Amino acid sequence: MPSAPRVLVPLLLLATAACSSKSDATAPAVDAGTDTASCDQGSSVPAYVRSAGAEVTFPSGFLFGTATAGMQIEKGLVHADWYQWAADPKHVANGDKPDDGPDALAHIPEHVKAMQDVGASSYRFSIEWSRIYPTLDSFTSDTPDASALASYHQLLTALKAAKIRPFVTLHHFATPDYLDDITKPRDAQSFERPEMMTMFPLFATRMGKEFGAEVDDWVTINEPMILLLGAYVAQGHPPGAPADFKRMVAALKQLVRVHAAVYDALHAADTVDAGTGHAASVSLAKHNRVFYPRNPCEPGDVDAAAKTTYLWNEWIYNALVFGDWDDDFDGKYTGANDRQGDPTLKGRVDWIGVNYYGNTLVDSALPLPYVGGLPTYNDLPTSLPKTDMDWDVFPQGFRTVLKELVKYKLPVYVTENGVGDSQDVNKSRYLAEHLWEMAHAISEDGVDIRGYFYWSLIDNFEWGNGFCPRFGLYKVDRASAAKTLTPTKAAALFKQIAADRKLSASTIDAQPAYSSPVICQGPS
């Protein structure tokens, strides 16, 4: 077995019915441009050839930020499903527990100073639902936890003083336990539950009213596909249900409707602020990848990679930007429940949020319905450099994924990109190469990218992989009472690029070549 990432082997197992026929699917082909190696080259994933040029610049006003999530950096989220899930050592490598992490809410000044020290102009973090409303009673009676509200206000006040623009996520993988009972994984949980349709919008309304004067930019849900895959297929996220593709698809459909309702709730609750003159601006953080055929000479793999690209990268934003609902995932809008321009979905994102971490291989020997293949993204048989997570380092794919977003004609924010690199040997080159490709997506591909959030500000609890992979621009001494931060080498580079608003090819060349990572094991 390969070392397991937090989401186990299958990346995409969406299936309920028969596979759509290959010839009639109009799913857009993989837009891998010139970076798709041909059959006779033997491997579908090309080596990195850096986009041309001697220097790139970043537009004025471009945000250089960092990102975190509450469950990964806060302590004491005892009413979150993930907290309870992580209590079982079988679910997290080394039996690591979130409480042994950076304890972020006790170290707000240090964290904001760390952002200032690298010249960050924005910060994406989550307001944790289960901290604000720990119990169903507290939610029903609208009795928020006073110290939770105070902590997030303290953070927002400190960010404002530091002129750092907040992007707030309302659901980053963790769900209150009254909406996700991990002891009953066979029952409807989390985004499958009917009450999610009303409770999440209500939570958003209250958060919009409470924090709207301090926050304009909202992320409703982080990485829907990863979340649902882990929850209902791969047993990598609570409730860890037995693999059931029908369930995952049903939950995905409801999640999209929940998002639309949360969008409406935030816009109603968070109107124009005196401070900024802005109203709410809402999207989600969508994890997109580049999908390649495992064998480029195998037509089934090629076809499955194209279908997976459509379903994984496009389906959600097609619904929320255009209102195009492809109920049977066949890439056409001719099915009984398909429709286009649905007014209840259309226009429910103000910008496109995208997280990028790399490439995936799709194998038609394991033909899953809808996509006709099994995608995997760790321990890949490529010669690309690997990360602590055993993912490939694939910077040109970043440009490919960004280019796919042009059709939405909306501003784009890169809500996450980063590398697990516990030895601090690869992070600088990774950062520079990804920023380089992103800059080309702006200048040459016409992608209207407004900001980039490096994942992550600090080392944190990396879900099923525990504390082993270190994504932080800052290392955290978790054993110290002060949870002392130490900048990585990449922090200085981030600071330089953010300050100069430019990056030269010679700066990339000056970074050390990739060296072997410490591959972190997943849960046993």
Residues interacting with ligand FCB, by CB under 6 A? Answer: 69, 72, 222-223, 226, 287, 355, 416, 455, 462-463, 471
Nearer to ligand FCB, 286 or 440 (CB): 286
Residue closer to ligand FCB by CB (options 69, 468) is 69
Secondary structure (3-state) at 453: strand
Number of H helices, E strands in the chain: 15, 13
Q: Judged by CB, which is closer to ligand FCB: 27, or 225?
A: 225
Whole-number Å distance between alpha carbons of 213 and 160: 11
CB of 196 to ligand FCB, least distance (A): 20
Kindly report the backbone phi and psi dihedral angles of residue 244, in degrees, each rounded to the nearest multiple of 5, phi listed first.
-150, 105
* Cα atoms found within 13 Å of the Cα of residue 3, Cβ hemisphere only: 18
Nearer to ligand FCB, 67 or 374 (CB): 67
> Toward ligand FCB, which CB reaches closer, 43 or 360?
360
Q: How far apart are CA 245 and CA 308, in angstroms?
A: 15
Cα-trace Rg, the chain: 21
- CB atoms closer than 10 angstroms to residue 50: 14
Which residues are paired to 291 by β-bridges?
360
| Bridge partners, 267 (sequence order) | none
Shortest distance (Å) from residue 365 CB to ligand FCB: 26
| Residue closer to ligand FCB (CB basis): 134 or 353 | 353
Q: How far is the CB of 143 from ligand FCB (least distance, A)?
A: 29
Angle at 108 between CA 208 and CA 115, to 5 degrees: 95
Burial class (CB in 10 A: 0-12, 13-18, 19+), 24: exposed
Smallest separation (angstroms) from ligand FCB to the CB of 465: 8
Min separation Cβ 68 and ligand FCB, Å: 8
Q: In whole angstroms, how close is the CB of 214 to ligand FCB at the nearest point?
A: 23
How far is it, in rounded angstroms, from Cα 385 to Cα 383?
Answer: 7
Nearer to ligand FCB, 325 or 377 (CB): 377
Q: Which residues contact 288 (CB under 8 A, 6 or more apart)?
A: 312, 313, 354, 355, 356, 401, 404
Least CB distance from residue 287 to ligand FCB, whole Å? 5
